[in-house]
Amino acid sequence: MIGMLFFEAANAQKIIGTITDAATKEALIGVNIVLTNGGGTSTDIDGKYLLQIAEGEQKITFKYIGYEDIVKTITVQKNESKTLNIALSPSTKQLGTVVVSAGRFEQKIEEITVSMEVIKPSLIENKNTTDIQTVMDQIPGVNITDGQANIRGGSGWSYGAGTRVLVMVDDMPLISGDAGQVQWKLIATENINQVEVIKGAASALYGSSALNGIINIRTAFPSQKDIDKNELPGFTKVTMHFGLIDVPKRKELHWNGIPSNQGGELVYKRRAFKGIEFLQSMKLNNLDLSLGGNIFKDDGFRKGEITDRKRFNINSTYKSKKIEGLSYGVNGNFLFQTTGSAIVWDGYDRAYIPLNNEITNTNGDTYNVDPFVTYLTGNNRHSLRTRYLKVVNDNSTKGQDDGQDNESETYYTDYQWQKNIEAYNLRITTGTTNEMVYARSDIFQGNNTRENHSLYTQVDKKMGRVNLSFGARYENFKISSEKKYLIDGDSLKSFSAGKPVFRTGINYQAAEATYLRASWGQGYRFPSMAELFISANQAGIEIYPNPELKPESGWSSELGIKQGVKVGNWMGYLDLAGFLMQYDDMMEFSFGKFAEHQPDPNNSNGSLNFYGLGFKSINVGKTQISGIEVTITGQGKINNELEINLLAGYTYMQPISLSPDEVYEVLDEPMYLNGGATIIDSLTYSNSSSDPSILKYRYTHIAKTDVEIIYKKTSIGGSFRYNDFMKNIDKVFTEELIGGDNGLIPGINKSREQY
């Protein structure tokens, strides 16, 4: 007790102040304030701090990621209080990018233990995009296929069901609870601070859908610099655009035509797209508020694939006047859209027309409301984030209800506690995530519920030039259905599964701008309701359920080097990585004969279920993906008038099956290929693939470049993307079937040979 009284008396002197960004005047949260002889504190949510020090001369260091350190020497008398305000300037010696997603706290990108790409808002704005997917497709190593993201070949084609890449907005998953479908259209492209992409398993910190990586979109709040220009109404941005879709190169693809003056030949009628988006940001005392929206209409270049979309969003944060360090708010997005889509197209010469002219028209409403609260006290941070997400899709074909509607509600909570132990350069993050999903749908065979409960922790330690990271998570899932399913011989209405996963990584600064890293992480994914229960028909093509589908698991590892590059005022980095991923019980949509043929009573040569053929999600066994990736990115001025922004990368992948001859599905009826010469009564990777040397619907080589050149107030840019030939697709599409002469889809082989 005597010792404690002496300590308090010895440190009765106080230094108080506010720390801001020198350029924007914004308050900086979490700045480390360290005394040379030990002790320290950090700034609160308003950038304020209180530091108790001993009397006499003291040296104080102010440190913040991405900013230059400032050291102050101050002398205080006994019982004296002083005010010391500090303005920190962004660092010119660092690579200049601060990220959050790798450890759920701010880190320099060069010091993290995993591969990460960062997209700045300028790239999004300059592409004039209203759909963030088009920007994602520009990231090295990332591909978007029918709305699902895959990183370094981690996924193929999945009918939009289930995802191995977790897409988040401000650390909150934006994935429908029933289909596991990314809700890209909800994302407010007009209000993005930056996009962070982690490549490799991140399940230990983020959960099931992060088996192949994460995409975290961080929204922007009104900056003081913008608000100062016009305090009321604040910062306003409005963007309008209009575009025409080019004419197809081959005349036979001109499905949308009008008669020409010369006679019966059709002249192609150009399709168009147009839209407007707006953003209004303001500060009202302690309230930060952003309102935005987007209205978009696209005629589509394929028949029936129209889009008519309206989206509105709100972001708000209130900093409490009564309780220091407390902030709370609510975010929300509201989407109303009408779309047309098809799963199979009508052959090589009618590639822009859906099979049987059947388009699924969807009137959809999707919205989320996200209340949250954050409390900073000392070196502790408490965060509670919640979400209510509702997805409603009313589907019809040729104006008739096709019995394939779906509706789901998701309730999500994430509580997180973070402790920064400055004396040991140690940060501990721990928390719990809970999710409940209620789905009512025809397409998923009635009412289903899903529960997900998890605990997670991560420890990050800095030792001089070395950064260490270790994380662990336990996740449990339970699915319940109103129907009973035969699973492993038992008739069940519900089933559950759970598994722990771990990750670890190390980063070593070998030289001033050279960083070496190594990481290993496990992943685990439970099947979505769509993969388990879907029962649908599009243009006669069936999509079959598989309630016996098993969860998939795996791990990924990486060795990498990041080298900083500086030419004058142009700064960036060159990154080289080698990676290896393995999956057990990988889930893939495969095409096969999964039901008995049902003859059409009105047509002796017809079939009600396309001869039992269709897609089904199946566990395809053990797989492996290895490769290398090189990326270069940077921005800055080459001279006083010329500025260049660059993002470029090349990825080589070798995705293979490690059990190509293992039987993973016994068919209800055999498939006859090559006019009956080939009989398939059970599926393996070898006999169901057009080229078994590689996993289906994947590439081996991917190259991407985006360059922007800015001269004074004028900018010009260009993008380049290259994907090599997709060697492997479902074999049934490329070989003669049921007396045909050109595969299931006419001309598919001709198309693959030419393009």
Amino acid at 6: F
Q: Region 463-468: what's the mean pLDDT?
A: 91
pLDDT at 500: 94
Q: What distance in Å separates the CA atoms of residue 709 and residue 750, rounded to the nearest whole number?
A: 40
pLDDT at 337: 94
Q: What distance in Å separates the CA atoms of residue 453 and residue 561, rounded to the nearest whole number?
A: 36
Q: Region 635-642: what's the mean pLDDT?
A: 82
For 458, counting Cβ atoms within 10 Å of its Cβ (0-12 exposed, 13-18 middle, 19+ buried), the class is: buried
Over residues 640-673, the pLDDT tens digits come to 788 899 999 999 999 999 999 999 888 877 877 7
Residue 154: how many CB atoms within 10 A of its CB? 30
pLDDT at 93: 45
> Is the backbone peptide bond immediately before 233 cis, with ω within 30 degrees of 0?
yes
Over residues 692-744, the pLDDT tens digits come to 999 999 999 999 999 999 888 888 888 999 999 999 998 888 877 654 445 56
3-class SS at 177? coil
What does each C-alpha distance from 395 to 243, 353, 355, 443, 748 come to in angstroms? 28, 19, 17, 10, 28
Over residues 110-130, the pLDDT tens digits come to 888 888 888 888 778 777 777
pLDDT exceeds cutoff 70 at 71 = yes
pLDDT exceeds cutoff 50 at 97 = yes
First vs last Cα of the chain: how many Å apart? 81
Torsions phi, psi for 339 (to 5 deg): -135, 160
Q: What distance in Å separates the CA atoms of residue 745 and residue 755, rounded to the nearest whole number?
A: 16
Over residues 146-163, the pLDDT tens digits come to 888 999 999 888 777 788
pLDDT at 227: 65
Confidence of residue 3 (pLDDT cuts 50, 70, 90): very low
Higher-pLDDT residue of 553, 490:
553
Higher-pLDDT residue of 517, 446:
517
pLDDT at 134: 86
Higher-pLDDT residue of 255, 645:
645
Confidence of residue 208 (pLDDT cuts 50, 70, 90): confident
Confidence of residue 423 (pLDDT cuts 50, 70, 90): confident
Strands 213-219 and 165-169: parallel
- On whether the CB atoms of residues 185 and 311 are closer than 8 A, the answer is yes
Strand partners, 248: none
> Within its chain, how far is the Cα of 515 from the centroid?
26
Over residues 322-371, the pLDDT tens digits come to 998 899 999 999 999 999 888 777 777 778 888 777 788 889 999 999 99
**H or E segment and range at residue 593:** strand 587-593
Return the CA Rg of the chain: 28
Confidence of residue 264 (pLDDT cuts 50, 70, 90): low
Torsions phi, psi for 210 (to 5 deg): -95, 30
Strands 678-683 and 665-673: antiparallel
pLDDT at 386: 97
Over residues 493-551, the pLDDT tens digits come to 788 899 999 999 999 998 878 899 999 999 899 999 889 988 887 766 788 899 889 99
Over residues 8-61, the pLDDT tens digits come to 444 568 899 999 888 777 788 878 888 877 778 888 877 889 888 888 888 899
User: Where do runs of H (alpha helix) occur along 424-560?
Assistant: 529-533
**H or E segment and range at residue 279:** strand 272-284
pLDDT exceeds cutoff 50 at 137 = yes
Helices (runs of H) and strands (runs of E) counted in the chain: 7, 47
Q: Region 200-228: what's the mean pLDDT?
A: 78
Per-residue H/E/C for 400-462: EECCCCEEEEEEEEEEEEEEEEHHHCEEEEEEEEEEEEEEEECCCCEEEEEEEEEEEEEEEEE
Residue 73: how many CB atoms within 10 A of its CB? 9
Strands 272-284 and 287-298: antiparallel
Confidence of residue 231 (pLDDT cuts 50, 70, 90): low
Higher-pLDDT residue of 488, 243:
243
Higher-pLDDT residue of 459, 666:
459
Domains of the chain: 2-88 (2.60.40.10), 114-219 (2.170.130.10)
Average pLDDT, the chain: 84
pLDDT at 260: 47
Size of the chain, expressed as the number of residues it contains:
755
User: CA nearest 527: which of 624, 406, 617, 392?
Assistant: 617
